[in-house]
Structure 1
Amino acid sequence: MKSLSVYFLSRAVIASAVLSLVIPGVRADKRAAVDDLPSDGVISNGVAFGFLPSDGYKVASPAYAMAQINSKLGGKASTYGFYAQISSTTFDGSQLLDRLDDVVTSGAVFQPAIMPTIPFSEVTSSVASQVARVLEQFTVKGVEVWLRFGHEMNYYVADGTYQGTAAEFITAWKNIHASVSKNPKIKMYWSPNIGTSNTPIAPYWPGPSYVDIVGIDCYPNSSPLSPSAFSSCYKDFYQTYSTANHIPFAIGETGYAGSSGNSAWLSQLVNQDMCEYPNYIAASWFEYNKEENFLIVEGSSLILSSTQQLLLHNTKKGCDSAESAATSSLSTTIGGMPTILATETSSATTTKAASETDFRASKVFATIDR
């Protein structure tokens, strides 16, 4: 695994000691996700940005290669998301391997969302080993992998796509973790859906020792878009799981339906005060036309122009103020840009349940049973 180049703005040895004190039992090298991101990828205001390209299956949008998206955008996506299902106790990863060449060529961090549609209890160490072997076919070619295993588990259990209890999910997660943690190029990426009273997040938390990256899927759909949509989607989750556990935060998938709000939402994603979200390292856009039109690159020329301005010509450069150089933070880099990985202790808060009328869960749009 890549070593995590972290240091206090004063001395590296002090930072290392502090990190070991505030995160007991969690290896420092598990915070190395920031080093995985490509140095030549799209970075806007310190946020490495990428896409989940449409697979063309039962959707209005055709299948897009990342090479096609990059060419049209005029920049290289930093992340590449895609879906696959574990539908039996034999997993060959064909859905992912169909994209192997495009992923390798892209140079992006690969973010496979591997969905167990068999019961959690059947995700044994044998199944986990099969998953690890599939992902190894990417990593041997130099690809960094952030595995979104069982993403949106809190929703998919409620709707019946996933089967099992929260405890069984955690056991399945730990089985996967045990297999992939042997490969230094694979990180475990915990990515629930927006929590509600019927779909709580907390029961599915495996614990910081088993998680390298945290994120939450949120699709705002209010019209007009609220100027506080970003904080409504992410702030409580960020404080509870990223800040409190000193784990990088990345948005695994998001989008906004409709041309009137696409650019406004994208702007919020890449124009936050990064000193408030120092662990926020990456975001991925759902580049699909599926029930709603989420396209920001392959859509209209007007939206594409706005996307290019926001992603390629953002004048903001992350949290680079002198005030951010406090001794409560650790500094590292993403693609050559300074970012702060916060180490201050924060009391855990309960993730705010977003109104079903305000946020559209990505459950509607994930590809199932290809």
Structure 2
Amino acid sequence: MPVGVAVVAAVLGTASIAGGLADRDRKNLEAATSQRAVAVPTCEVTDGNSLIPRPGSALFGVNLNLDAKPLAQYAADLGHKPAVSVSFADFPYTEQERTHLQQAAAQVRADGHIMLLTLEPKQGLAAVTPDVINALVKDLVSINGQGVPVIVRLAHEMNGSWYPWSQQPVEYKAMFTQVADAVHTGAPGSAMMWAPNYAGGYPFAGGQFESTAGSADFAALDTDHDGALTMADDPYAPYYPGDGVVDWVGMSLYHWGAKYPWGENEIPEANKFADQLTGTYVGANGDDSLLPDFYGVYGKDHNKPVAIPETAALYNPAAGGAAEIDIKRLWWEQVFSPQIHTRFPNLKMINWFEWDKNEVEVKGRIDWTTTNSPSIQGAFTAALPDWLQYGQGTSCRPTEE
């Protein structure tokens, strides 16, 4: 599959924090359901190469709470149709979830461009059987045929310790390869994204699904062969399925604050976004400068387009401290800076996390949004750089079912 076939399938939840994700996933799926008849066009299946952003640009997308704001309203607020939009499903998924995905595709077709589909094997990696994979490919072909490219972000944050597919590199890579081979062969309008968790705090000791000493997976993760898993071990490479099956690589990067515990309104540190992307950040988790350079290794050495599946800056309405506009503006100024664009030419997608929700880690409401407040919306939309690429919708002519 040519490089650039995929953009990210959306990250669920924060970049390095476990838990509190199921409700978000379910609500986003539920919100995609419509009672109206669906307009189903007949379209030529999109060639994956056409999803590659034009040279010198990056796709702009959104992880949106569709319960609170339809995609059409977000596009109106932003002044652009987002190039990418998020959907979620368990894997294998239920018939109800399958219906939700079809309905989500209709929204993307009307008010976006690309569906970002995160598939979560919550029953464990063994549940991803050939029959499950074949059913996925069939559904991808159907959605692609309606004029909606799909990018599958499969079993994200696999290097964490909080998911049933966590820290099982041997089984994970085999599963990813099986799915990718089937998608590449059977659904040419879809593609694959590999997206580990930002590794500050690796190996995330104490998680329910952390690797145990003595297993084959533990041995594979112990990259320095000292008999222990620490930040000195490579937190990404053992999980990488290979250039032949990975189209895009991605990592979500947030400003949760400058120091733990989370929930305080704090100004982002200078260069934090770039430092996290390159493994040189020194901050909330201590010194993360032992981490590999994610962009350098996978964006440059492996020559993969790099996506930021989700990004945003924490604002706690119930706390004092820095002002909302200052926190968010200083974060988006980093993300959209000319220096970022110049320094990271393979950064090809940025997806904003547009949610106002309760966060388990904070035990309260956090407003991550940029379009709900008129003053912030105006500042945010004015700051969008000209190198971002937006969705143009489909040229297919729908017919009523």
Is this a same-fold pair by TM over 0.5? yes
Task: Report the Cα offset of residue 88 of structure 1.
Answer: 6.2
Partner of 1:304: 377
Contact 2:81 2:390 in 1 (8 A): no
Which secondary structure state, in structure 2, belongs to the residue aligned with residue 283 of structure 1? strand
Partner of 2:193: 189
2:377 is aligned with 1:295: no
* Distance (whole Å) between structure 1 residues aligned to residue 145 and residue 71 of structure 2: 20
Task: Report the Cα offset of residue 82 of structure 1.
Answer: 2.1
Q: Among 235, 259, 262, which residue is 2:328 paired with?
A: 262
Partner of 1:75: 80
Task: Report the Cα offset of residue 228 of structure 1.
Answer: 0.8
Which secondary structure state, in structure 2, belongs to the residue aligned with residue 52 of structure 1? strand
Q: Among 164, 169, 172, which residue is 2:172 paired with?
A: 169
Contact 2:83 2:390 in 1 (8 A): no
Q: Among 240, 243, 263, which residue is 2:297 paired with?
A: 240
Deviations 1:183-233 (A, max 9, x none): 221111111111133153222111111100111112122221012111122
Task: Report the Cα offset of residue 177 of structure 1.
Answer: 0.5
Contact 1:107 1:143 in 2 (8 A): no
Alignment map for 1:101-250 (pairs within 5 Å):
101-155=106-160, 158-162=161-165, 165-182=168-185, 183-195=187-199, 196-199=201-204, 200-222=235-257, 223-235=266-278, 236-250=293-307
* Distance (whole Å) between structure 2 residues aligned to residue 288 and residue 112 of structure 1: 18
Alignment map for 1:289-368 (pairs within 5 Å):
289-291=356-358, 292-297=366-371, 299-311=372-384, 314=385, 317=387
* Distance (whole Å) between structure 1 residues aligned to residue 311 and residue 107 of structure 2: 22
* Aligned AA (1:234): L
Partner of 1:49: 60
RMSD between aligned alpha carbons? 2.9
Partner of 1:9: none
Q: How many residues align?
A: 279
Contact 1:2 1:35 in 2 (8 A): no
* Aligned AA (2:251): I
Query: Please, which runs of 5 or more residues in structure 2 have no aligned partner?
Result: 6-46, 205-234, 258-265, 279-292, 316-323, 359-365, 392-401
* Distance (whole Å) between structure 2 residues aligned to residue 254 and residue 170 of structure 1: 26
Task: Report the Cα offset of residue 263 of structure 1.
Answer: 2.2
Task: Report the Cα offset of residue 68 of structure 1.
Answer: 1.2
* Distance (whole Å) between structure 2 residues aligned to residue 66 and residue 126 of structure 1: 33
Which secondary structure state, in structure 1, belongs to the residue aligned with residue 342 of structure 2? coil
Partner of 1:35: 50
Partner of 2:32: none
* Distance (whole Å) between structure 2 residues aligned to residue 168 and residue 89 of structure 1: 23
Query: Please, which runs of 5 or more residues in structure 1 have no aligned partner?
Result: 6-31, 57-61, 319-333, 337-370
Deviations 1:283-338 (A, max 9, x none): 111111122211112x2111101111012xx3x659xxxxxxxxxxxxxxx779xx
* Distance (whole Å) between structure 2 residues aligned to residue 279 and residue 33 of structure 1: 17
Contact 1:89 1:127 in 2 (8 A): no
* Distance (whole Å) between structure 2 residues aligned to residue 237 and residue 133 of structure 1: 33
